[in-house]
């Protein structure tokens, strides 16, 4: 049980760090946008790519945060079951493992979907539009 508590605490810490990084990333994007508007700069291909990467970073952080929340919820359910009924909890351990594996697989799939053009896997004619 102690190991699950340690894992949960580690996940909580990672969640907090990623939430802070997401906020910094968003602030950075807004600062770049403000700078470009103040200086009447046009968006060229390099800037468009930078904005796209910034968006991908945010999407990846969102997917990671969602996976962490799901894992923490599964751990909490298991921990509660373990405290209530040890025999029931032992049967639930297999379910917990399945849930964690499912969460991991979903996170990996989201990573692939969100990667987009960053990994060169997007269509050649994909264009980024900014409003």
Identify which of 52, 58, 50, 47 has the alpha carbon closest to the alpha carbon of residue 25: 58
- Residue 96 covered by a domain: yes
Q: Which two tokens stand for residue 6?
A: 């340690």
- Residue 8 covered by a domain: no
- Residue 33 covered by a domain: no
Range of the domain at 89: 49-116
Confidence at 116, pLDDT banded by 50, 70, 90: low
pTM summary value: 0.66
- Residue 3 covered by a domain: no
- Residue 37 covered by a domain: no
- Residue 89 covered by a domain: yes
CB 15 within 8 A of CB 69: yes
Say yes or no to pLDDT of 13 above 80. yes
- Residue 42 covered by a domain: no
Instruction: Characterize 15-48 residue by residue with b for buried, 16 or more Cβ atoms within 10 angstroms of its Cβ, and e for exposed.
Output: beebeeebeeeeeebeeeeeeeeeeeeeeeeebe
Per-residue pLDDT tens over the stretch 58-114: 999 999 999 999 999 988 887 877 777 766 666 677 777 788 888 888 888 877 877
Domain count, the chain: 1
- Residue 78 covered by a domain: yes
Say yes or no to pLDDT of 128 above 50. no
């Amino acid at each position: 049980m102690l190991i699950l508590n340690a894992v949960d605490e580690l996940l909580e810490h990672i969640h907090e760090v990623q939430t802070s990084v997401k906020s910094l990333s968003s602030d950075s994007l807004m600062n770049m946008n403000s700078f470009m508007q103040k200086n009447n700069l046009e968006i060229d291909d390099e800037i468009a790519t930078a904005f796209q990467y910034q968006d991908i970073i945010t999407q990846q952080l969102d997917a990671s945060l969602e996976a962490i929340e799901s894992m923490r919820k599964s751990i909490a359910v298991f921990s509660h079951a373990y405290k209530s009924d040890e025999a029931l909890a032992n049967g639930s351990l297999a379910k917990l493992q399945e849930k964690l594996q499912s969460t991991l697989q979903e996170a990996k799939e989201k990573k692939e979907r969100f990667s987009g053009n960053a990994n060169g896997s997007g269509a050649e004619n994909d264009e980024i539009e900014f409003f």
